[in-house]
Structure 1
Amino acid sequence: MGANIMAIYDLDGIYAERFMEYINRSKSIPFQVRAFSKKESFLEYAREEEIEILLVSERAVTEEIRRLPITHIIVLSEETYGTEEKNNEKTIYKYQSSDQIVREVMCYYAEQKNTTGHYGCAKEEGKIIGIYSPVRRSLKTTFALTLGQILSEKVNTLYMNLEEYSGFSSLFEKDYVGDLSDLIYFMNERSANLILKLQGIVQPMNQLDYVPPCIYPSDLKTISGEEWVSLLDDIRRKSSYRAIILDMGENIQGLYTLLGKCNIIYSPVREDKISMAKMYQYEKLMQMTGQEEILEKTKKLHFTYFRGVESGMDNLVYSDLGDYIRELLAEEEDEDG
């Protein structure tokens, strides 16, 4: 079965074409998009092809279009900001960023009980990369975000932060509508459409996608290890992400279970005496509790000073740390090859 079709019909042909190009460039949105600015050509196409979602401008929508056998019709409004019902129709504000429109469309689509389309499930399961260290202030998150951006240059990559205090809202100057807590809740309530909900929540960082972290630290403590595993399994098997990066803190349930799910674990460490003592205690605990397998797939990273990491998240790939990670990945490819 082919990809689901999303059609956009707008009298402004430039708007429709640009939106189509944006969606079709995306590697993770499970729709093929067709753009129309002429009523006759749109109607001809709609009568011959099965359209799952239609985005149609307020000025273009007619009763004839409403009667077409299209599963979901969403009106692009020039006046109403945000998603709401207007005249019993779903409306989305037209003049906002394409990625925000896509998020609103995916959230709405995922929440429809009768959504049963084909989502282009992955042919192979994604690789889970763990980032964890018992040592604080070790550039763990900076390393994880840089690694994610570099990997995303080659494969679809998803970053998830499982720390109590990520600081992302302040770091990226964004107020997130949905976050990791919403994704877990949705999985427990209606997991069949989980990947669509995921696409409605993720945010871009260059080519890397990331799930906004939990706002409330207490939310992380209510998510069981089994729920984390179920979420990861769904994403690996049903999405187009080939790499999933888990940036883990210490206070999540099922930490060892998550570490055990990882294909590889990067553990940044520092050279000072206290940091080395913490790492020694962690490794000793792993041995005492029979978690030698976790240690076997853990790669300790001894960092020094990296120039350029202070120049902003978008420039991390051009820093010394970015060069370090590229060399690290090249060495691993040689070892695997």
Structure 2
Amino acid sequence: MGSRNLVICDREQEYAAAFAAYLLKKQELALQVQVCQRLEQVKRIREKSEIQVLLLSEDYSEEERNSIDAEQVFILTERAGGRQISREGADSALEIYRYQSAEMILAEIFGKCSEREAFDGLFFTKVRTQKMEIIGVFSPCHRCGKTRYALELGKKLASEANVLYLNMEVYGGIGGYFSEEGPTIADALYYARQEKQDLGVILTTLVTHMGEMDYLLPVKVSEDLKGVTGEDWIDLLRQIAQCGLYDVLILDLDEGLQEVYQILSFCTQVQVIELSDPVSQAKLLQFDRELHLLGYEDVRRKLTRQEGHA
């Protein structure tokens, strides 16, 4: 089999070059990325090898778009909407809003292509790892440094392992520890619910990096999490584990999550952040008694306490 190609054909040279540069940083990408400014260049590539993914500017006419043979065509437009555009004698093309983030453009491309068996294994070579460790970081105490602890733990472990940090707080604080723009954990939940999607392919387009550690931004709207069930979360975690991309998954958990004890039960480790003041100790005692009362003895057994900082 010859090389597999993703071709970008756009008259805005700087735009095409910037997106290509982003793609080339994706080390797992199993496609050769090529940039063209004219359709004649695309046709010359097609004469030598197949084009799996073609991104075309909307400036080209329907006749010009139909003249190029590619397995999947995407039209870069200046309007949002994601319309399907029929192509004579070929699969329909999909419109993609060109001025959204590169991560979201790539997620849309992978989302569409992963619906077709012909694209299986086309994009990413999965790195097989041993069983994934899931570390839940939780506290019934507020302002105890839980998120700071979880992030520092993740960055420390990331020096020797592939680590993904998930902020599952109802109010995770966009713009605090995290960047303000980009895909969030709500996007990962959405894709996990799509039966035909390969979450491993999508996930690599959603994560942001903090040093050597990958993370997903927290939700921007708290209501996006309040309706998520424990079963939904566990399904997401299972799919992440099945991807084989990560050795360690760190969950920064919130007491406001539905069925949070079920999520803690799914973890392989539970680290509880504590404070020494009387009020915090009373909350920790209530938490422990509640676990016992509700039958979560497994959570109590794998629980370790870590000193927090107010």
- TM score, norm. by length of structure 2: 0.74
Q: SS of the counterpart of 1:266?
A: strand
Map of 2:31 onto structure 1: 32
User: Contact (CA 8 Å) 2:145, 2:309: kept in 1 or not?
Assistant: no
CA pair 180-36 structure 1, distance change in 2 beyond 3 A: closer
Alpha-carbon separation, structure 1, partners of 2:223 and 2:271: 26
Structure 2 counterpart of 1:148, from 144, 154, 157: 154
Question: Which secondary structure state, in structure 1, belongs to the residue aligned with residue 73 of structure 2?
Answer: strand
C-alpha displacement of 1:248: 0.5
Q: 1:247: how far off? A: 0.7
Q: Deviations over 1:130-165 (max 9, x none)?
A: 111122111111222333344445544332222222
Whether 1:226 aligns to 2:231 is: yes
SS of residue in 2 equivalent to 1:192 = coil
Shift of 1:182: 4.4
Structure 1 residues without counterparts, runs of 5 or longer: 306-337
Asked if the contact 2:8/2:55 (under 8 Å) is kept, the reply is yes
On the 8 A contact 2:128/2:244 being kept in 1, the answer is: no
Task: Map 1:317-332 onto structure 2 (within 5 A).
Answer: none
Q: Is the 8 A contact 1:4 1:52 kept in 2?
A: yes
Report if the CA contact (8 A) 1:16-1:35 is conserved.
Answer: no
**1:72 alignment partner in structure 2:** 72
| Residue identity matched to 2:71 | T
TM-score of the aligned structures, taking structure 1 as reference length: 0.69
Q: Secondary structure at the match of 1:260?
A: helix
- 2: distance between equivalents of 1:239 and 1:6? 25
Return closer, same or farther for 1:157/1:44 CA change in 2, 3 Å cut-off. Answer: farther
Aligned residues, how many? Answer: 298
- Which residue identity is paired with 1:280? L
One-letter identity of the residue aligned with 2:150: A
Are the counterparts in 2 of residues 83 and 104 from structure 1 also a CA contact under 8 Å?
Answer: no
Cα deviation for residue 237 of structure 1 reads 1.0
For residues 72-121 of structure 1, the C-alpha deviation after alignment (integer angstroms, 9 at most, x for no partner) is 223456xx266755987545566x68xx2232231244146843322434
Q: CA deviation at 1:270?
A: 1.5
- Does 2:263 correspond to 1:262? no
| Structure-to-structure mapping, 1:189-268, within 5 angstroms | 189-238=194-243, 240-268=245-273
Change in Cα spacing, 1:107 to 1:92, as seen in structure 2 (3 Å) is: closer
Alignment-derived partner of residue 118 in structure 1:
120
Which residue of structure 2 aligns with residue 314 of structure 1? none
Alpha-carbon contact 2:115-2:197 (below 8 Å) kept: no
CA distance in 1, matches of 2:161, 2:13: 32
Q: Which residue of 2 aligns with 1:8?
A: 8
Matched, 1:105 2:110: no
Amino acid at match of 1:6: L
User: Structure 1 residues 11, 141: CA separation in 2 closer, same or farther (over 3 Å shift)?
Assistant: same
Q: Aligned in 2, Cα 1:147/1:41: closer, same or farther, shift over 3 Å?
A: farther
Structure 2 portions without partners, runs of 5+: 87-92
Cα distance change of structure 1 residues 60 and 152 upon mapping to structure 2, 3 Å threshold: farther
In the alignment, which of 298, 302, 308 is matched to residue 293 of structure 1?
A: 298
- Residue 139 (structure 1) aligned with residue 145 (structure 2): yes
Q: 1:162 aligns with which of 168, 172, 177?
A: 168
Pick which of 229-238 and 198-207 moved more.
198-207
> Identity of aligned pairs, percent?
26
Query: Within 2, Cα distance between the matches of 1:205 and 1:66?
Result: 42
CA–CA distance in structure 1, aligned partners of residues 249 and 4 of structure 2: 25
Q: Deviations over 1:162-195 (max 9, x none)?
A: 222222257656366x543444344334353434
1:269-307 residue CA offsets vs partner (Å, 9 max, x unmatched): 1122222232233234334444333233333221458xx
CA separation of 1:173/1:26 partners in 2, compared to 1, >3 Å: closer, same or farther? closer
Q: Is the alpha carbon distance of 1:85 and 1:132 closer, same or farther for their aligned partners in structure 2, counting shifts above 3 Å?
A: same
Q: Distance in 2 between matches of 1:245 and 1:103?
A: 24
